[in-house]
Amino acid sequence: MSEKKYFEGLEINSVRETMGRTITETDIVIHAGQTGDFFPHHMDAEWCKTQPFKQRIAHGTLIFSIAIGLTASVINEVAITYGYERLRFLKPVFIGDTIKVKVAIKEKKDYKKPGYGLITELVEAFNQHNELVMICEHILLVEKAGN
């Protein structure tokens, strides 16, 4: 779905939530291959049995990628990602866990280039137990109306 939501039309504290996405072993294996991160925490089930979590954990970068992908159900034609800040992985995500994401507009401010503003979204990923597993801020460069 595509829409145009200019800077002025985005409201602080507005919230949207995504559908869920279950993390699979295939996700972990493909991500390891794409990134080269084959650490045993992600790949070695037997070794993980000797560790505190007792099972393989998903890569933080995998969870970040899937969480942000889940938020891309609506495309704003007048906004572009400016970056991400304050990324934290608060709890491990395991094979079979289902994550969903809540996005809330946290801040609006003018940008140095006239005709644009910056929107900061608080992005929170939760597992199926409603435990916060990842948090970050998504910064968007958004066109102002009449630009």
Q: What is the pLDDT of residue 3?
A: 78
Where in the chain are the domains?
2-143
Give per-residue pLDDT as tens, 17-40. 999 999 999 999 999 999 999 999
Residue-level pLDDT at 62: 98
Q: Which helix (H) or strand (E) holds 125?
A: strand 116-126
| Class of residue 36 by CB neighbours under 10 A (exposed 0-12, middle 13-18, buried 19+) | exposed
Q: What is the pLDDT of residue 14?
A: 95
Which pLDDT score is estimated for 1?
65
Task: List the end-to-end C-alpha distance of the chain, in Å, as a whole number.
Answer: 23
| Euclidean distance between CA atoms 68 and 48, whole angstroms | 27
- Alpha-carbon distance 67 to 65, whole Å? 6
Its CATH class, for the domain covering 2-143, is alpha beta
The pLDDT value recorded for residue 70 is 97
**86-117 pLDDT, tens per residue?**
999 999 999 999 999 999 999 999 999 999 99
pLDDT at 121: 97
Q: Are strands 75-76 and 2-3 parallel, antiparallel or unpaired?
A: parallel
Q: Partners of 118 in the beta sheet?
A: 109, 141
What tens digit of pLDDT does each residue of 58-88 get?
999 999 999 999 999 888 899 999 999 999 9
**Residue 54, pLDDT score:** 97
Residue 92 has what pLDDT? 98
- DSSP-derived secondary structure letter, 94: B
